[in-house]
Amino acid sequence: MKRLAILTLDSVSKRFSQLSAVDAVSLHIEEGEVRGLVGPNGAGKTTLFNVVTGFLRPSGGRILFRDRNITFAPVHARVRRGIARTFQTPQLFADMSARDNVLIGADAGRIPRSNWLFPFARPTSHAVIDKADAILDFVQLGSEAHAPAGELPYASQKRLEIARALMTDPQLLLLDEPAAGMIPVEVMALNELIERIRLQSRTIVVVEHNMRVIMSVSDRLAVMEYGRLIAEGTPEEVRKDPKVIRAYLGTAH
């Protein structure tokens, strides 16, 4: 039985001068799925993420979250509705502790991102701190709660950014190349974390250019090339699609 769409993109485009970074992309992300968004470098994946999360304004089309139009909603309003994201390169406060980085997520849906440090101008409740610590335990960083974020290993910084996103209680979590820069054992642990997040009844969209990584975690894949959507389907269907083989995987696959 088909599930309800939590996110609908209706002919979404983003142009920079004469360049179409995203060209009339239409997608339906079903509630509870893990959807992979793949394609070669420069395909428009991160630009599409930035449009969906409000960091860029679209040049055309509509974005619906649970059938509500959020096309031009600001970032913090989308977070408040239940959308959270991570970045290709972790965007952390390096001198702050891991716990304090996660605590920023507690107010991310209430105030603009430029003012995320504001919560530390006033006391934080024990309940909020307990929640942050529980999330750090969930991502297996509980022992690093008081360590400066900038001193954590790179893979741990990636997990910490996921923890901050989870602090917002997202219904839809968008992960932008979470496996980039990781060694195989770290990728395996990340895939296990993604599965545990899914079991919390969250919907996940993962941007990746590494097809082997994304095949193991996704229910369905969407493939982009030059800003356009060129294929959709299960990992096995996409693997065999001639357009994907030609444009992305190469004939060796």
Domain residue limits at 250: 1-72+209-253
Q: Residue 115 — pLDDT band, cuts 50, 70, 90? A: low
Task: Characterize 2-22 residue by residue with b for buried, 16 or more Cβ atoms within 10 angstroms of its Cβ, and e for exposed.
Answer: eeebbbbbbebbbeeeeebbb
Q: Does a structural domain hold residue 178?
A: no
* Top-confidence residue, 116 or 188: 188
Q: Residue 110 — pLDDT band, cuts 50, 70, 90? A: low
Q: What is the mean pLDDT of the chain?
A: 89
Q: Does a structural domain hold residue 217?
A: yes
Neighbours of 236 (CB within 10 A): 10
Residue 214: how many CA atoms within 13 Å on its side-chain side? Answer: 29
Q: Is the pLDDT of residue 16 over 60?
A: yes
Q: Residue 94 — pLDDT band, cuts 50, 70, 90? A: very high
Q: Which DSSP string do the residues of 123-179 spell out, in sequence order?
A: ---HHHHHHHHHHHHHTT-GGGTTSBGGGS-HHHHHHHHHHHHHTT--SEEEEESTT
Q: Residue 8 — pLDDT band, cuts 50, 70, 90? A: very high
Query: What is the structure's pLDDT at 97?
Result: 96
Q: Does a structural domain hold residue 138?
A: no
Distance CA 36, CA 43 (A): 14
What is the pLDDT averaged over residues 90-104? 94
Query: What is the structure's pLDDT at 214?
Result: 87
Q: Is the pLDDT of residue 143 over 60?
A: yes
Both tokens of 90, joined, read 């972790």
Query: What is the structure's pLDDT at 111?
Result: 56
Q: Does a structural domain hold residue 46?
A: yes
Percent of the chain as helix, strand, coil, to the nearest 5? 40, 25, 35
Q: Residue 166 — pLDDT band, cuts 50, 70, 90? A: very high
Q: Does a structural domain hold residue 18?
A: yes
Query: What is the structure's pLDDT at 113?
Result: 55
Closest CA to 172 of 37, 13, 11: 37
Closest CA to 161 of 112, 208, 98: 98
Q: Does a structural domain hold residue 125?
A: no
Query: What is the structure's pLDDT at 249?
Result: 55
Q: What is the CATH number for 40?
A: 3.40.50.300
Q: Does a structural domain hold residue 100?
A: no
Distance CA 92, CA 122 (A): 20
What is the pLDDT averaged over residues 145-171? 96
What is the pLDDT averaged over residues 193-203? 95
Give the chain's domain count: 1
